[in-house]
Structure 1
Amino acid sequence: MPRSMLIITRQSPWSGPSAREALDIALAGGAFELPLGMLFLDDGVFQLVQAQQAGQLQQKDLTANLQALPMFGVDSLYAAQRSLQERGLDQNALSLPVEVLDDTALRALINRYDQVITL
């Protein structure tokens, strides 16, 4: 029986390779039908903002990778309510549908998974 995995991505898409690495792990796990979820926390919620202009920072746009998550079976996508609020982001303006969780629900989510990777 495959073990479940939660990938917590905490970095903005332009702050270094961590955001891309988290997406690569999720896509690879999805390709192998590993039960997994992805949580966007802290500055990681910036990955969900539409119309990223990564080229201005000489970074690759992650939007296509994010849009591919459901095609790879990664349907369990979550965002921290507090992170969205602190950064002035509206759930309805995000590039992907995510389940927004408060602090209590975040703890319960993390406890549901066998393995947790934070990037």
Structure 2
Amino acid sequence: MKSMLIISRQSPWSGPTAREALDIALAGGAFDIPMAILFMDDGVFQLCAGQHAATLQQKDLTANLQALSLFGIDDLYVAQSSLAARAVQPVETLSVKRVSDSEIATLINRYDHTITL
């Protein structure tokens, strides 16, 4: 079966793109497609605790993030440089693997398909 990597680059409050990336991952997981997500650039903000999505009339992504493992999506990655540039610490309830810029190309090459949102 073909595998897929979702690269999520958008903050949770910049519009529906971050939610759509998670929805694609959850749908793929429901059909047993090997899935992974790489959070980079402003996408790392999705991993922050205490987001107030309702204030910005956005859907809170916390439940979607927590559901990933229920759908067999355990390979979550985050770009270390994006975390450092934005002074972000991922919420401790998610198990995300930090990857360096030099490791990102290798990570992408591991998957048959890549979608960037």
Quick check: TM above 0.5? yes
Computed over aligned residues only, the root mean square deviation of the Cα atoms, in angstroms, reads: 1.0
CA distance in 2 between partners of 1:42 and 1:94 (Å) = 19
Identity of aligned residues (%): 63
Q: CA shift at 1:94, angstroms?
A: 4.6
In the superposition, the TM-score normalised over structure 1's length comes to 0.95
Matches within 5 A, 1:47-86: 47-86=46-85
Q: CA shift at 1:95, angstroms?
A: 4.6
Asked if the contact 1:11/1:18 (under 8 Å) is kept, the reply is yes
Q: CA shift at 1:90, angstroms?
A: 2.4
Q: CA shift at 1:104, angstroms?
A: 1.1
Aligned residue type for 1:9: S
What residue number does 1:13 align with?
A: 12
CA distance in 2 between partners of 1:95 and 1:84 (Å) = 17
Asked if the contact 2:78/2:98 (under 8 Å) is kept, the reply is yes
* Unpaired segments ≥5 residues, structure 1: none
The one-character-per-residue Cα deviations of 1:40-95 (angstroms, maximum 9, x if unpaired) are 0100000000111011111110000000000000000000000000000124x455
* Unpaired segments ≥5 residues, structure 2: none
